[in-house]
Amino acid sequence: MEEIKTNYDLLIIGGGPIGMACAIAAQREGLNYIVIEKGSLVNSLFNYPLYMTFFSTAERLEIGDIPFSCIAPKPGRQETLEYYRNIQRHFRLNINLFENAEAVKKNESCFEVTTNKATYLAKKVIIATGFYDIPIYMDIPGEDLPKVSHYYKEAHEYAFRKVMVVGANNSSVDAALECWRKGAEVTMVIRKNEINPRVKYWVKPDVENRIAEGSIKAYFNSNITEIRNGYVDIQTPDGPVSIENDFVLALTGYRPDIDFLKRAGINIEGINCIPQYNPDTMETNVNGLYLAGVVCGGMETHKWFIENSRVHADMIINDIIKKA
């Protein structure tokens, strides 16, 4: 690894919409900053399903006071990626893509941030890493088989196959409906007794109707006990069931990198692993280390979105300027 130690005013970990918003605010205040992003620009959004439609309207995804024009009532993944690419074209933010931040350590006078390519020195650090990179695993036999995926991209490869979708959130429901419409035989396994009430309001009745008419088979109050080649074993209220199966989409949710936060010295509290921070400034218990965006919610990944955490950028930069 090449050692490059540059003393920045601010280093931002995460090049998603909130990390970009923090960079814009820092740039406007004349701070010497850099953004470290482990994948492509807005990497989590890039990994969303190809035809995903956002719950938020376009204007609620805007950053940097740049309008997001969208013909449809809700933007899709492609339009959203184009918008954030245009943000980068406009602001020319200082972002290092495909560079993974591995550790944050506070020294007496600054922070030392180590990546897979270099070491940086910075007076302040913002962690805006989201939650989409680590799946919540079921921890069952066979979960590591090639036919199992914790991410869903598009339905074509599942057409005319037996597909099991695990979960009842937006990602699970979207995948189940798209796969069924492309000709898959879809079975859903749902831990609770209903489709999650937070599922997009225009999609929830659709999947409930498909289940009611028998187009999609659903096992409620059920859990997978083992995944095998050709079959999946399920524990249902009526006892164990074995289902013929070709693919399993285990869309059971995702979580922030809690261990990374702990190693940076951030206190993690409670069963939901909520990181400690000041809600007025977004500064953590480590002086000069801030959190922004979805990562603030710990395991409560439904709490923060782009639309309600965009404000974190100005809150943080204002605090940094105030304390300078």
Q: Which uninterrupted H or E stretch holds 21?
A: helix 17-28
Which of 224, 250, 276 finishes a domain? 250
2 assigned to some structural domain: no
pLDDT given for residue 2 in this prediction: 59
1 assigned to some structural domain: no
- Is the same domain home to 152 and 203? yes
Whether pLDDT at 220 is above 90: yes
pLDDT given for residue 18 in this prediction: 97
Which of 223, 250, 277 finishes a domain? 250
Nearest to 243 by CA among 207, 194, 189: 189
- What is the percent of the chain where pLDDT is above 70? 98
Arithmetic mean of pLDDT, 264-287: 96
Cβ-contact 102, 219 below 8 angstroms: no
Whether pLDDT at 284 is above 90: yes
- What is the percent of the chain where pLDDT is above 90? 88
- Is the same domain home to 190 and 242? yes
- Is the same domain home to 223 and 309? no
CATH number at residue 298: 3.50.50.60
Whether pLDDT at 131 is above 90: no
Q: How many domains does the chain have?
A: 2
Whether pLDDT at 1 is above 60: no
Arithmetic mean of pLDDT, 58-62: 94
pLDDT given for residue 3 in this prediction: 65
In whole numbers, what is the pLDDT of the chain averaged over residues? 95
Pairwise pLDDT comparison (140 vs 302), residue with the higher score: 140
Whether pLDDT at 27 is above 70: yes
- Is the same domain home to 122 and 146? no
- Is the same domain home to 271 and 127? yes
Distance CA 246, CA 229 (A): 8
Distance CA 73, CA 66 (A): 18
- Is the same domain home to 310 and 199? no
pLDDT given for residue 29 in this prediction: 97
Amino acid at 193: N
21 assigned to some structural domain: yes
Per-residue confidence at 302, pLDDT binned at 50, 70, 90? confident
Task: State the residue range of the domain holding 194.
Answer: 137-250
- Is the same domain home to 56 and 155? no
- Is the same domain home to 267 and 220? no
Per-residue confidence at 226, pLDDT binned at 50, 70, 90? very high
Whether pLDDT at 210 is above 70: yes
Arithmetic mean of pLDDT, 302-323: 94
pLDDT given for residue 4 in this prediction: 65
Whether pLDDT at 308 is above 60: yes
Arithmetic mean of pLDDT, 28-35: 97
Cβ-contact 117, 97 below 8 angstroms: no
pLDDT given for residue 6 in this prediction: 77
Which of 221, 250, 279 finishes a domain? 250
Whether pLDDT at 59 is above 80: yes
pLDDT digits (tens, 9 = 90+) for 66-105: 999 998 889 999 999 999 999 999 999 999 999 999 999 9
- Is the same domain home to 115 and 259? yes
Per-residue confidence at 109, pLDDT binned at 50, 70, 90? confident
